[in-house]
Every structure is written in structure tokens, then in C-alpha cells.
Amino acid sequence: MVYLAPPRSLHLAPLCPQPAERKLYRMTYPRALLRAAVLAGMTVVVLVLFAVQLVLMAPGVVLGMVFLIPPPIHAGRVLVNRWRRMFEAWTGRAVPVPYEPPPPPPEPDDEGLYRHDATLYKTPRFPRFFRRLDWLMKDPATKRDLSWQFWFLLLGLLPLALAAGPLLLAAWTWIWGPPWGLPGVPSPGAWWATAWTALWEHPAWLAALALPGLVALPWTVGAVARWSAWLLAPGTRPPSSSKRVEQTLLGWVRCAFLVACAAAEVVLFAISLACFALGFGLGLVFLIPVANSHFRWLVNLRRQFAEWGGVRIPRPYAPQLRPELRPDGMYRVKNNLYKTETMASFNASWQWTWNDIASWRDLLWLAVDPVATLALVGLPVAAVVYGGWGLVFPWAWTEFFGADWSAWYGAVAGHRTLGLAAGLALVAVGLAAPRPLLVANARWTALLLRPTKAAAEEAALRERVERLTQTRSDALDAQAAEVRRIERDLHDGAQARLIAVGLTLGAIERLMDTDPAAARKLVAQARETSATALTELRDLVRGIHPPVLSERGLGDAVRALALDTAAEVTVAGELAGRPPAPVESAAYFAVSELLANATRHGGAERIGVDLRHRDGLLRITVTDDGDGGADPSRGTGLRGIERRLGTFDGTLAIHSPRGGPTVATLELPCALSSPKTSTF
Amino acid sequence: MRVVLAEDLYLLRDGLVLLLQSHGFEIVAAVDSGPALHTALLEHRPDVAVVDVRLPPTFTDEGLQAALAARRVVPGLPVLVLSQHVEQLYARELLADGTGAVGYLLKDRVFNADQFVDAVRQVAAGGTVMDPSVIAKLVARPSATTGSLTPREREVLTLMAEGRSNTAIAKQLFLSESAVNKHIANIFGKLNLPVSDDDNRRVLAVLAHLQGQ
């Protein structure tokens, strides 16, 4: 049976200790002061953490140095968990640990090898690492943590800065005069310039600015704590406004990234040209496959980036051609035979890259894309960089810090202030523009990088064949196992009991005349044995194909199942006809397994089953109020259901957050036939 | 007592005819399909019908449906349904009209001829007989009300729901009849059921209560 709900200790291990009970420390003024200092200190830690995560993640993602990714995230989790408990104590709100349970260690297969995706490893090291990587990167809680860190950098220092910042400045000014060349030489005459200069001449005024911050300190600290508690708890979504800010910044960063890629493409294209030149010019033919394919990593990366513009581009390449060792010791590649593996491999890689239309499309794209990408997404990048660095920054630099105006600084028709306005406008446009541009860029990328129609069709067929091969072998395995089980059950059960009955009847025959009393006793025994045999046969039949299923169809069979389940099960929905018998049977056993899981492992008390058939799809939803935490990748039972449904191109989707509720949806494409039931 | 019998397997039908005749029943019709059963029930209006669930022509629940259809025309027509497997779903459908005079037994119960004949007579007399395995599942299902019963009361409830009389329950559990009466009073009190002397009403009340959960 399926292992649906792993025990709690496994869920929360090892870095997720749940507090036994929440303590709430009320906010007093001294406490607020202390907390403001703690928040400020945390900002420094978060800054380091965030920077380390970003710095290590960038090469991890872009250059494939994935081993750099998990340690900082893991360390971040330990820290953030500590803060979760701290915010719980500050706010009195529950901040549960949102992380998914860690993956189970990889198990060796029959040959003692460890599998990850399509590769077998000798040691569990790499599969374990990839599982952990998947676990960390796919967990929405990782994104939540990063998002909190990003915003905390802006907000964490705020309470203390508002309260103590002006005071510190005032003290500094009092003792040593205005720091960092402040107040500078702002343009004379402007009202704000006068106020600004006056402020620095009277440190007391400066200190007075701290008043609102000091008065509101408990409130500002509380707000930051509540906001953190809210964002760090699972199940909350950041408000759309902060999301929009993140999205806007992200859009621009993506544009910048594409521009960086475009620069790399120029280099890669140059390498390709050089390889072709050397290959055909100097006869270094071994460089030709390199020239054709060495850039695929970047091209694949750009295919992935097309998703930023909402376009999914599958990889178009033909499957890699590998030499085939023949019984006579020769290596065969297509219709050519080679004595050595090296030559065969070279020819295979030549054929693979040279004959694939995708290589040439890639190459063409590589030549054109730097220009196209620069034209499409270069604008916002340039606008923000020039607007910010060239126009706004010089203005602030010269206005506030009294720096001399340089001929390098940008201005509009000699007006610095006009330049400031233009700069701000440019930054705004640069930040607003990326989304449609990313879409346009993705479409352009898709134009050449998506598989040609023929290749796409071939890939789809290949995928279908692979899936059919897989499900067929699953189905055959399952069927063979089923037949073996039935054979064993019959052999050890009913068959053996019938033999016993036969033997007893023989004995009765002998004793009937001589010892009628003993014969009668044996008759009772024979009857009992045959009754047991019948019970066993009935159970066996129920396991093969429940009679109620053939008598009433899926709807009533599920209702009968519901009545036999310990929990309270409500069945809704009606089928207008009957699915084909094998589909019906698969659906029945899937529901049976799901109900058993819900009550046995999930501890469910109420279960709802919904049956529906629409647009050629039979959809059954099983919802329960149990503990949740069901995961098809762990339970063999759920995987068994998936396999069984897979034979009919059916699917099983499980949504089971910890704490429930669990929703299992199974879908089977099938047509309904008119019901074959009795006529009364 | 006039009996209509429906069973499609020749050997079993023959065996049942012999068994019932030897206990003094008169077999007015022994049929082997759903439509024939429906006709026979309405034509003969027997004192009791013994019906196999699965019959030709569809080999689904033809027998059950024919019996239910006949009971819609002749309310309270006594029907004892036999089956290779028992489903609470079917038990529910048989009990749904609340008129009693129904039985639902596994075919295995025929092995014990006396008990089987007893069940036929009880159904003919308007009683209710449910297979122990149906009752066991009903009683075993955890619920707020049956949870408060003692094990002994549970045993008594199970036998009561099978349609046994107080005397029979006392004999089976090696108790005095007054002790059984006391247990039953307790059960009815705990399940909030009106006390009734009529065996059939009592069984129906218990079943209705158990199924209502």
C-alpha cells in the first residue's frame, strides 16, 4: 500500500524544528529600540547572504556550475528559519516552515547503479546532489525566501534609520562639521537649496527630523516584523504592487541578460567561422562538427529564455548518432563500416551535426541574432544606463556634491536640469518597455530556433513511440504479475481446499456404513472447508474484477466502494454510459486505491468522489480532508495507479499540501457506450 | 407455501427446488431469466420468491431489478435475494421502500439448509433477513452512535439486524432471554430508536439507523 504521509519527523527534518508553543513578547519602547537595532544588524547579514546567493547562482545557472547553487540557499534557509521564529515571537503570528520535505536518498537498482533522469551513476553522489538541487530550486519557498531578502534589504534598516539617522548626522555635524562634503554647492536661489543649506548650519534642526521616526519607532518595527511574518509564512502571496516592481526590474535585467548573450554570440560565431576556415582551408576536418555544434549550449539557453516572452521552444536536434558495434568487430555508422571506434565516432558526430537542418538554422540565427537582439531589447538597456548614469547621476553629483561639470556628462541643449528630466524619462521608458520587447524577441528566436515542421512531427512521433513502448511494457509486467498472483492464490487457496473436500468425501464414503457418527462429523467439516473456499474465491474475484462493476458500471461500483469505506464518502456525478471494460476497471481500482490511501495513510474522515465525462475525457476527482503530503514520487501505490492509467493514456494529478486537503484527479480519454444493464 | 424460484444455473436451480420441496414448499415456477421472473412474479403472486441477482439476458443485476420492479407493482411482495457476493448498495435498494419482507443472502448460506429454510419462512412472514457479512460491515463502520456500544451489545445488534428473534439470539450467545431484552433496551436507548415488539420493525429501524450514517 502506498506510503502517503511520511511521519512528521521526516517532514520537518533537519532544519525545520517547529516551536513547541509560541511566545509573544509585547512591544515596549525599549524593546522596540532593541528590535530596530536587531533589524538593522540583520540587514547587513541579509545583504551578504543575498549577494552570495546571487553571485554563486549566476555562474551556477549560466555556466552550468550547478554545484555552487545549493550551499548558499541551504545556509539561507537555516538563517531565515531562525528569523521566522524570531518574528513569531515578535508578532505572535504563526510562521510555519514552508519548505518541502527533503528528497529521499537514491536507491540502487538491480545492478547496483543509481539513476537520475536518463543517466546511471555508479555512486549515489550525483543523483543525491541533483535531487537536492531539484528540491531546493523547485520549491516555491526558495523564491519566497529570496523575495523576502530582496525587500528586507530596503525595509530592514528603515526603522532605525528614520529614528537614529538624523540624530547621528546632527551629532557628527555638531562635532566635526557636515560629513562627505555636504551640503555641497546646490544651485543658488532655489527654495529647497536654501532650506538644505540652512539644515546643515543648524544641527538642532537636523536632530528634530528624528522626532517622527522616534515616536513611530514601535509602529515601524512592528510593521516590518508583521510584514516579514506574513511574507515568510507559507500560503501568502506578495501583494501585486511589490510583484509588479519585481517584474519590472526583472524585465529589465532579462533584457540586459539578452544583450550579454548577444555579445557572447558574436564570439561564438567568430569561433565557428574560424573552425570552418581551418577545417576546409587547412584540412583540419575534425573541427567541422565543432564548428557546427559547439554553440548549442548558448542556443539552448536562448530557447529557454524565450519563455520570458511566453514562447516555448523545444529543442529541434535529431537524437545523437552513435556508432554501432557489429558482431564482426566493425563499427557501423549508417551504411559505413569502420575499423576503429575513433573514426566511427568522428563520422557519427559529423553526420549528426552536418545532416541536421537544425545546425544550419542555428548557425544562421547566430549570425543574425546579435544585431536582431540588440535592435529589439538593446533600447531599454541603453535608455536606463544612459538615462541613469549619463544624465541623472551627473546632475546629482554636481548639484549635491559640488563636483565640477565635465564635458563627458550628458545634458539637453546645455541644460542640466532638462537633462535630469530627460534622464528620468529615459529610465522610466527603459523600465516600462521590456515586456513587449521580450515577447518580440522570443518570437524572433522561435522563428529560426524552433524545430522545422518535419522535425517537430518526427519528434512528436518519437515521443509517442517511446511512451507507448514504456506503457506497453508496464502493462505487460503488471498483467504478468497479476496472473502470477491469481495462480498462486488459486493454488494455495480454493484448489487446495477442494482437494481437502475430495479427501474428506472419500473418508465419508468409507465410514458411512461403519461409523455414521464420525461420517457426520466429517460432512460438517467438508461443508466448512467448501465454504472457506467460496469465501476465498469471492475475494479473489473481487480483486480481479468486482462483480458490482460488471453488474452496475463504474458509478454504482464506486458507490458500493464508498459504502465499504470506513470514512464518510460522498459520490457525486453520473456517467451517461459505460467506458470500455478495461478503462472502467482501471478507473475503479485507481479510485479504490485512492480511497484506501486517504483513510489508511491520510487519516481522512470525509472524502468526496466526483465522476464526470466530458469531451471524450473521463475525469474522477477524489478529495479528502486528511493530512495531505501525498507524493506520487514516493508511494509505490500511487505510481502503480499512474502506470495502470498510463496504459490507457490516462493521467493522475495529485495536489496534496501538508496539512491537506488532498485532491487527486485522474483523467482517462475514452468514449462511453450505451449502458449494458438490465431492462427493469 | 408457494414459491417462485429464479436461478440460471441448472444444477443449483435443481438443488434449490429439491431442498425447498423437501421442506414442504410448493414450487409454482422455477425460471432462469429476468423477464421470465418478472412475468412469473406478477402472474403467480407467490408467498415468497427466491431470486439470484445475476440472470440472463444481460448477466448483470437482472434478478434484483426484476424483483424490485415486481415489488413496485405488488408492494411488500416477499423476496429473498441470493448472490455470490454481497453489496451494501444492493441491501440499501432492497430496504429502500421500507415495507420489509426482504432477504439478502450469500449463496453459501444454502449450505446450512435449516438456517436457509428458516430465512425463507421469515421473509415470507414479512420479516427482514440480511446476510451477516452485510451487517458486520454496517456495524463495524465507526460512527458516533455505534461507538458507544459495548462489545456484547454490538454482538446482539449484529444478530438482531440479521433478523433473529430474541429467543434465537439468547440461544446463540448463551444468554437468558431477559438478559437479551435488557441489552436490546440499552441498544435502542443508545441509538435513540423507538422500542418496538415487532421483530421486523425492529430490524428495519436498526438498519435504517445504521445506513443513515
Nearest to A560 among B34, B88, B213 (CB): B88
Distance CA A509, CA A492 (A): 26
Q: Where are the alpha helices (DSSP H) in A277-323?
A: 287-293, 296-305
Return the residue of A nearest to B109 by Cα.
Answer: A531
DSSP symbol at A558: H
Question: Could you report the per-residue pLDDT of A120-169, keeping only the tens digit for each?
Answer: 888 888 888 888 888 888 888 888 888 888 888 888 888 888 888 888 88
Q: What is the pLDDT of residue A14?
A: 36
Question: Could you report the per-residue pLDDT of A213-223, keeping only the tens digit for each?
Answer: 888 888 888 88
Query: Amino acid identity of A247?
Result: Q
Distance CA A637, CA A370 (A): 51
Mean of the per-residue pLDDT values of chain A: 83
Residue B87 Cα distances to A173, A646, B120, B137, angstroms: 90, 30, 20, 10
Return the residue of B nearest to A528 by Cα.
Answer: B111
Q: What is the pLDDT of residue B153?
A: 83
- Provide the 10 A C-beta neighbour count for residue A324: 12
- The answer on pLDDT for A677 being more than 60 is no
Distance CA A150, CA A148 (A): 5
Which of these ranges, A525-534, A624-633, A650-659, B137-146, has the smallest mean pLDDT? B137-146
Q: Does the beta-carbon distance from B84 to A541 stay under 8 Å?
A: yes
**Which ipTM score applies to this complex?**
0.80
- The answer on pLDDT for A389 being more than 50 is yes
Name the one residue in this structure whose C-alpha cell is 505487460: A476
Nearest to A551 among B61, B108, B142 (CB): B61
Give A484-545 as a DSSP string. Answer: HHHHHHHHHTHHHHHHHHHHHHHHHHHHHHH-HHHHHHHHHHHHHHHHHHHHHHHHHHHHHS
Nearest to A534 among B68, B89, B108 (CB): B108
Contact (Cβ atoms closer than 8 angstroms) between residue B33 and residue B8: yes
Q: Does the beta-carbon distance from B34 to A560 stay under 8 Å?
A: no
Q: Does the beta-carbon distance from A531 to B58 stay under 8 Å?
A: no
Question: Could you report the per-residue pLDDT of A248-275, keeping only the tens digit for each?
Answer: 888 888 999 899 999 999 999 999 999 9
User: Is the C-alpha dihedral spanning A254, A255, A261, A263 positive or negative?
Assistant: negative
Contact (Cβ atoms closer than 8 angstroms) between residue A602 and residue A565: no
Q: What is the pLDDT of residue A20?
A: 43
Question: Could you report the per-residue pLDDT of A160-198, keeping only the tens digit for each?
Answer: 888 888 888 888 888 887 777 666 665 666 677 777 777
User: C-alpha cell of B25?
Assistant: 414448499
Contact (Cβ atoms closer than 8 angstroms) between residue B5 and residue B13: yes
Contact (Cβ atoms closer than 8 angstroms) between residue A186 and residue A400: yes
Return the residue of A nearest to B60 by Cα.
Answer: A551
* Predicted TM-score (pTM) above 0.90: no
* Residue B4 CB partners (closer than 8 Å, separation 6+): B27, B28, B29, B30, B31, B37, B40, B41, B44, B46, B48, B49, B50
The conformational region for residue B143 under phi > 0 = left, psi -120 to 50 = alpha, else beta, is: beta
Q: A-B interface: how many C-beta pairs under 8 angstroms? A: 68
- Provide the 10 A C-beta neighbour count for residue A42: 21
**Which H/E stretch holds residue A463?**
helix A453-492
